[in-house]
Chains A and B, each alone.
Chain A
């Protein structure tokens, strides 16, 4: 066996152990070293050179990245998740002919969908969805995310919140927690448009807070432009922004006239 590959797999074992131990720092360190080691393999994307150990190398690299994705969920680091997921993706899409399907694939894809939903990047969510083959849609992990998105779009926010109980994998929990916040933001955005003001009590119910304090804290952090007066929340300030764009009519008229003049002059 190739010494490099051995080295990588040794590191990988230590990395897995660290993950199991929940030793975040050590595992992050090891991961970084692993990634550097992986760059020396020429069989990996984007080169995909055919080397004798190509299949082992690809498999191990995929495993490493899958673990990296899961680790990032554990760490609650969305950026890292995105990074690692994108590096992992070529192993799913472009290496399909070279590798058997990974058992974790659907779980990770589902996680990614969930992430997009949490970040409210709906367009990308659908792009990803379209790229999936039909049979993947049947997978419970994917299905879960799709259903969530549907409820989310319909505005059936309570269904979104109750879906937390039915997660297919415990690593989804992290995103489901975040999703509650996304839902709240969405509601806040809508109420802002829909009402001039709301009583604190209504606002608390609307935004799914259990206490007024939580509500006030939220308003302070996320929507400082809202005003709290006489026991109600006033959205007035937020509406004042964004004046409509003016049409530069005078300029347009001038331009048209000068064209007409020039046309007359020509020859």
Chain B
């Protein structure tokens, strides 16, 4: 190599000064070859080379060569800007395909430069300085090279960054795996594009590309359309699929509907539903009855399936005249189903059934809490009630309340309010019977049923919780109740309830109703009104915000200001930079409460974006604001901004968690709790652990709650610290000398840890990585419990069942097995606590015996079946490279079926090694960390339409002629369950004895046909 030949470039440099152009050329050429070695020497003469480049008389090629040389020298001097500008001068001599550090660095620089210019150009469209065409040429050359080399992901990344949608489209359409590329692109556009407008542009492009494909991926298209808020597009796709001859297309349509529902965008879903065209033969009938109460519809659906709450459209379709042709009939049948799904009723119903049948909550924990809590301590008393509600959220199991009526009756005033509201959490999603369940507590329309205003207000709030985000049927009732009362407690409940039920619908009439409550200027009602208005207007960024802000300045009541501040924050949910003016206005306000609202506005507007600007702003407020409240909220808000990247949060707040200011520490704890909720992230737990034994009581409280949020659904097998934490909670609760604040935290934490019968987790992102609006809003309002305990119930909005629920064409749950490729103990339910005294254990043996006797019988039969299954499974698993096939032979033990009967069986004592996988039966509990282990069997009767490890999945039946075995038909519903309430004075006296669930779960009830 020549590098060893010469010791200096001096000769060549001297040659540059020669007068003969050929000599200069010779020198340039050689210098260019040796620049890597001699750049320090050349750098002293760089002016000479520059002048060569600028010499007009010089040959074009020579000048480019000179530019390239200068560029390289500047590159070595780390003057990248100069280097880039000369590289541009080098024209075609700058070879993008060259594999050298110089080229790589400069390309990166060029692309950055180009991207920032483009971004600037698009952001301030006014005075756009023209972009250097040479720069553009380089970037285009790079893009073309990536595309021709098959590096589509790079090309797409660069194209998105540089706002070159034309190139993006080219990259996608030329890639060999268009579907893969598209889904990659969607992921990228969600995680890396900060500006909402631009993201919309990208998504619109993607939708176009999708639609041009021969076999469009409707699932993804609809997700994009949802983000773009284009219900027409979704509706037309759904209609096309529904009208198709093929049954699979209908299944796909159902699947799309379920996926859309998961994102909880109520207004959008309703729009889609209303845009679906009605069957031709019956132009109006099927659309109209929707607006009437669906509660009454329940009795009429004698014809259709049991699980699905059909609206009258169903009955209409069956009674329709025979001359309707066949296709219209199938269409209308499918339409009914899809409307059921889109309204959320189907999924809510199924979730409810799942939670009810799989409920594994541990009443002994509650009992222990109840016994250790002092009678007089009302905070802990109501904390226990909250805890119970959270533990049984959505399961409809209110055994604990019914068993402890006396104890419960100690709740007075606001405690009574929240005790009643707690029923709403327990019965969450019980759309049909919600109202009849709450009937005994509801205001009795002037007759003065004797109920206290607190329980009446609580009942209205409960109705809101039951119908959260699906309040079509209950809205009217809540409005009437709101209008017909002057009692501020009832107004309080009604405002919250209305806000919840009409979440994000931006209904003007409801808004006006709530506004009139606000203008009464009553502190109690006004606070709820502020929040209610925010809930109503979630994510609309409407003009109403400024109206609310004005009133917040006028009123004297801090409570109202606080409610309004949060309400304003809610209106800008997810609007990102659109909200900047409002945020600016709020964060600069004199009033700390408004600034505090500004923090929430930042949190919600930039929720889940991990936007650097928002994080910077929040960190600034977290350390510089004078008000502790604002600082606490600023830190807490970080949790919301970061929830899409939970791994980052502990790192960001770790310093703040060691702050001298307890409010900041509290905020840090909750920030971690919010953003890492349900992840069980190890760093998060390590950060929270020291905080749980902080010197300040409310920091302990926050840390305990946050820890529970992080650890929800984890068991000791996956992280031993879960067990330690459970014992710590127990200790705090039992400790007589513990502060009330931390005790309350511990009680709530034990509720959250076992939330929803141990079958739910806190999830802020749907599986398609969209924000779950209800969940985020729920947590945001929940974090207000610092000021107002009844808002704790909002946490139930963020619960989502961790279940795999497979559905067939009839939207019923067929029996269907699949594999979880991990040790069963990793994801099983935590062990129930052992009964402390012998007395209550006396009766248990008989109960256990009866079930186990049945179970042993069943087992003999099952064992054979199971063996066959495992062999099948092993065969299936053998196809997968990753699976551990070693001990499949004895994978017969510890069957954990969905069948709740066998859970009470004593575990087999044999020291058998644990199998490396288990068979699970639809519908099954699949915790988030388990999802990656889920596999479907190849030779199963049912094939999922989309291979998702959890959530609602439509199954394609490969043997449609054979009879299906259904599971999960035990709806916890019974129309005659309306309580004999009138006589009961105590708030929860109206026991809902329909499901007498004891410690041991009931055998499945047959569904009642009302005919």
Residues of A within 8 A of B (CB): 32, 35-36, 39, 45-48, 79, 82-90, 93-94, 265-267
Contact A267 B659 (CB under 8 A): yes
**A266 to B623 CA separation, bound complex (whole angstroms):** 6
Mark contacts of B767-800 with chain A using CB atoms, 8 A cut-off: 1 yes-contact digit, 0 otherwise: 0000000000000000000000000000000000
- Whether a CB of chain A sits under 8 angstroms from the CB of B34 is yes
B669 to chain A, nearest CB (A): 15
Of B6, B655, B664, which is within 8 A of A45 by CB? Answer: B6
B contact residues, total (Cβ < 8 Å): 29
Contact B10 A89 (CB under 8 A): yes
Contact A90 B8 (CB under 8 A): yes
If A32-B19, A47-B5 touch, whether A86 touches B11 (CB-CB below 8 Å) is yes
Contact A267 B660 (CB under 8 A): yes
Tell me the number of A-to-B contacts counted with CB atoms below 8 Å: 67
Q: Which residues of B contact A86 (CB under 8 A)?
A: 10-11, 13-14
Contact A39 B22 (CB under 8 A): yes
Contact A46 B5 (CB under 8 A): yes
**A86 to B19 CA separation, bound complex (whole angstroms):** 15
Contact A48 B5 (CB under 8 A): yes
Residues of B within 8 A of A (CB): 2, 5-15, 17-20, 22-23, 26, 30, 34, 623-624, 655-656, 658-660, 664
A264 to chain B, nearest CB (A): 10
Given A83-B17, A267-B658, output 10 extra A-B contacts at Cβ < 8 Å: A46-B30, A47-B5, A85-B14, A86-B11, A86-B14, A88-B11, A90-B7, A265-B623, A267-B655, A267-B664
Q: Which residues of B contact A46 (CB under 8 A)?
A: 2, 5-6, 9, 11-12, 30, 34
Q: Which residues of A contact B6 (CB under 8 A)?
A: 45-46, 48, 90, 94
Of B5, B11, B656, which is within 8 A of A87 by CB? Answer: B11
A57 to chain B, nearest CB (A): 15
Q: Which residues of B contact A266 (CB under 8 A)?
A: 623
Contact A87 B7 (CB under 8 A): no
- List the 6 closest pairs (A to B, CB-CB), nearest first: A86-B14, A39-B26, A46-B6, A83-B14, A48-B5, A86-B10
**Can you offer 25 A-B residue contacts whose CB atoms are under 8 A?**
A36-B22, A36-B23, A45-B5, A45-B6, A45-B11, A46-B2, A46-B5, A46-B9, A46-B12, A46-B34, A47-B2, A83-B17, A84-B14, A85-B14, A86-B10, A86-B13, A87-B15, A88-B11, A90-B11, A94-B6, A266-B623, A267-B655, A267-B658, A267-B660, A267-B664
Contact A267 B656 (CB under 8 A): yes
Contact B623 A36 (CB under 8 A): no
B730 to chain A, nearest CB (A): 33
User: Nearest residue in B to A48 (C-beta to C-beta)?
Assistant: B5
Q: Which residues of B contact A87 (CB under 8 A)?
A: 11, 14-15
Of A36, A48, A79, A89, which is within 8 A of B11 by CB? Answer: A89
**A87 to B13 CA separation, bound complex (whole angstroms):** 9
Contact B8 A89 (CB under 8 A): yes
A32, A39, A85, A94: which has the most chain B beta carbons within 10 Å?
A39
Q: Which residues of A contact B5 (CB under 8 A)?
A: 45-48, 94
**A79 to B13 CA separation, bound complex (whole angstroms):** 13
Contact A83 B10 (CB under 8 A): no
**A266 to B624 CA separation, bound complex (whole angstroms):** 9
Contact B624 A265 (CB under 8 A): yes
Of A48, A79, A88, which is within 8 A of B2 by CB? Answer: A48
**A120 to B11 CA separation, bound complex (whole angstroms):** 22
Q: Which residues of A contact B15 (CB under 8 A)?
A: 83, 87
Q: Which residues of A contact B2 (CB under 8 A)?
A: 46-48
A92 to chain B, nearest CB (A): 11
Q: Which residues of B contact A82 (CB under 8 A)?
A: 14
Q: Which residues of A contact B623 (CB under 8 A)?
A: 265-267
Of B17, B20, B659, which is within 8 A of A79 by CB? Answer: B17
Contact A35 B23 (CB under 8 A): yes
If A35-B23, A36-B22 touch, whether A93 touches B14 (CB-CB below 8 Å) is no
A171 to chain B, nearest CB (A): 20
B793 to chain A, nearest CB (A): 34
**A5 to B892 CA separation, bound complex (whole angstroms):** 92
Contact A35 B20 (CB under 8 A): yes
**A86 to B10 CA separation, bound complex (whole angstroms):** 6
Contact B13 A93 (CB under 8 A): no
B2, B655, B656: which has the most chain A beta carbons within 10 Å?
B2
A94 to chain B, nearest CB (A): 5
**A39 to B12 CA separation, bound complex (whole angstroms):** 11
Contact A36 B20 (CB under 8 A): yes
**A88 to B15 CA separation, bound complex (whole angstroms):** 11
A82, A85, A90: which has the most chain B beta carbons within 10 Å?
A90
**A107 to B41 CA separation, bound complex (whole angstroms):** 26
B899 to chain A, nearest CB (A): 54
B650 to chain A, nearest CB (A): 16
User: Nearest residue in A to B31 (C-beta to C-beta)?
Assistant: A46
Q: Which residues of A contact B18 (CB under 8 A)?
A: 32, 35, 83
Q: Which residues of B contact A267 (CB under 8 A)?
A: 623, 655-656, 658-660, 664
B404 to chain A, nearest CB (A): 46
User: Nearest residue in B to A94 (C-beta to C-beta)?
Assistant: B6
Q: Which residues of B contact A83 (CB under 8 A)?
A: 14-15, 17-18
Q: Which residues of A contact B656 (CB under 8 A)?
A: 267
